[in-house]
Chain A
Amino acid sequence: MISLAGRDILHSWGKFVLTGLGLGLLIGVTFSMAGVYRGMVDDAEVLLSNSGADLWVVQQDTLGPYAESSSIPDDVYRDILGLPGVAQAANVTYLNMQVRKGDTDVRATVVGFEPGKPGEPRYLAAGRRITRSHYEAMADVMTRFHVGDRIRIRRHEYTVVGLTRRMVSSGGDPMVFIPLKDAQEAQFLKDNDAIVNGRTRIAANAALNRPGVPGMLDAINALQASNHNVNAVLVRVADGHSPEAVARDIRRWKHLQAFTREQMDEILIAKMIGAHSEQIGIFLVILAIVSAAMVAFIIYTMTLGKIREIAVLKLIGTRSRTIAGMILQQALGLGLIGFVVGKIAASLWAPFFPKYVLLETGDAVRGFAIVMTICAIASTLAIRAALKVDPATAIGG
């Protein structure tokens, strides 16, 4: 027995392939949407893994440093270092801001880190690590900066000396790493007008501006301009100690909160990405319905165009089952073409998305099963129509 479905497809392959292409692009969009969601989750995982930290110590009663802002003094890390089970404790700052290069600016998360400690990028994609204590930066490739570029962050210019890959914030902004002190200054120092304003106000205050105490005014101004806060302390727990136990120790201090990796996962994925995942889920459902409708329509139309042949086939003795099978096979074939085109298209255009798109094999397999199921269901409309055909209609008159 020959394959009626195969012959039909071969005969009108142009129409089939074009339809498959259209369906494929739709499926490609679906894969990309799923990939965007996976990418967001991966961004969060990568952010947590690349920090090299086992614990995140932040301001009490906050969900920082990524989900909420958190501010703690920068000498707290010394006390944390003294706790049992703490191998390394490092200050870090995070700030979302525009980083300027020439005439353009890029939205980035500026990270203040200390070399050799958690918070520093674990691997580079180009260039070298920072060797000077100020005014050098490492940037992620998604900023589109290159080694040697001069970029401007707040008041100072930095030279990009190294490039990283997959260093993005939980919101998907690429990261730029600068020495901690520079980052503290960038984060907490006000702009010039505000500083001048502040100085004038302090100078007008007679209690602070004492003529008999030279240098007092300068000291107070220096205090206003200095910054000794950071957003978090990243802690690496020593081998053989449990992060939760160390976190409990830290939480006992009244003004600090400490999160383990699992808790940070929950915060980032459940809370920050949660709303996105719902949106994407709705999109996926809509796309699935549209795809199903498309397949149903195409197959139905193709079947209607063959009504006469189907009547003849039935008359000359073809089983209804065979005819139904032919229609089903065509729908599945369409689905297969669509799936292959969709997967290829999604892989091709994924790098052009501004966010990271992660196309997982598991998703592809699931997608294949869903596409096939949808095609099978969509073909039932056409199959019903075909089964209703009366073979007597082949005999005219």
Chain B
Amino acid sequence: MDKNVGIQIEGLSKRYGEGEAAVDALRDVNMSVAPGEVVGLVGPSGAGKSTLLKCLGAVIEPTRGRMTLGGEVIYDNGWKIADLRVLRRDRIGFIFQAPYLIPFLDATDNVALLPMLAGRPNGEARARALELLQALDVAHRAAADTSELSGGEQQRVSIARALVNRPPVILADEPTAPLDSDRALAVMRILNQMASQYQTAIIVVTHDEKIIPTFRRIYNIRDGRTFEEAGEGRALE
């Protein structure tokens, strides 16, 4: 298999609880996202979007199924990776509903933290962070304290953080929820740019009507099952 083949999910199921009270959050989910592709994951709340993200993000253990990230089987009816933490650190990028920046670090260090955790020297980590901040057009706020950044700036810094370790996969959880239409589209633009630039496979969980039209492919999730759909694929400048 090609080393970086994005995301492959086969027959993923997650059951919470046992017996009578058991809840099947995911039933036999199948998904695939190619490198460089940005797909949307939509559905009503409670349908299982977060659960799917959590499984993909290796923070909860699925009940059964198979997950392949960046060409590496991480789960096959059991974790196949010894250190999930390292997996998360190096192979997955997270973008949250809120920026969730570390308040006591400035913009640069928030981003540089990840390479530093991976063992890279501080100078190199900061250089890489700056690169990404530049790419995301917030380099002029590199030294600013988190509290001094605007919402949009924080969002961009958090995207930079997700990208800094060049992970093959990015999981975005409602990244545009608090933003207005222009900003939301700007974020999507950036994501698409980064995806094609770094060949990252990105899943965007959203129910934001403003950005759904921009996806070429959408996975609809209902009652734990996914249905692939074609998206509008509206162009972003």
Give the interface of A toward B (CB within 8 A): 1-2, 4, 7-8, 10-12, 308-309, 312-319, 322, 390-392, 394-397
Contact = CB atoms under 8 A, between A and B. Distances in A.
Contact of A395 (B86, B96, B114, B161): B96
B94 A2 contact: no
Contact of B88 (A12, A309, A315): A315
A395 B103 contact: no
A7 B122 CA distance: 15
Nearest to B116: A1
B104 A7 contact: yes
Contacts of A313: 102
Nearest to A390: B59
Interface stretch (B5-13, B45-53, B194-202): B45-53
A244 B19 CA distance: 89
B104 A8 contact: yes
A394 B100 contact: yes
Interface string B173-185: 1100000000000
B90 interface: yes
Given A10-B104, A395-B173, A2 B117 contact: no
B126 to A, nearest CB: 10
B89 A316 contact: yes
Contact of B174 (A10, A316, A397): A397
A316 B173 contact: no
Nearest to B86: A317
Interface residues of B, number: 33
Contacts of B114: 316-317
Contact of A316 (B54, B60, B88, B122): B88
Contacts of A312: 96, 100, 102
A233 B57 CA distance: 88
Pick from B49, B86, B113 the residue with the most CB of A within 10 Å.
B113
Contacts of A308: 100
B104 A396 contact: no
B102 A394 contact: no
Nearest to A306: B103
Contacts of B173: 395-397
B105 interface: yes
Interface in B87-102: 88-90, 94, 96-97, 100, 102
A397 B45 CA distance: 8
Interface string B33-50: 000000000000100011
Nearest to B119: A1
B109 A397 contact: no
B88 A2 contact: no
A316 B49 contact: no
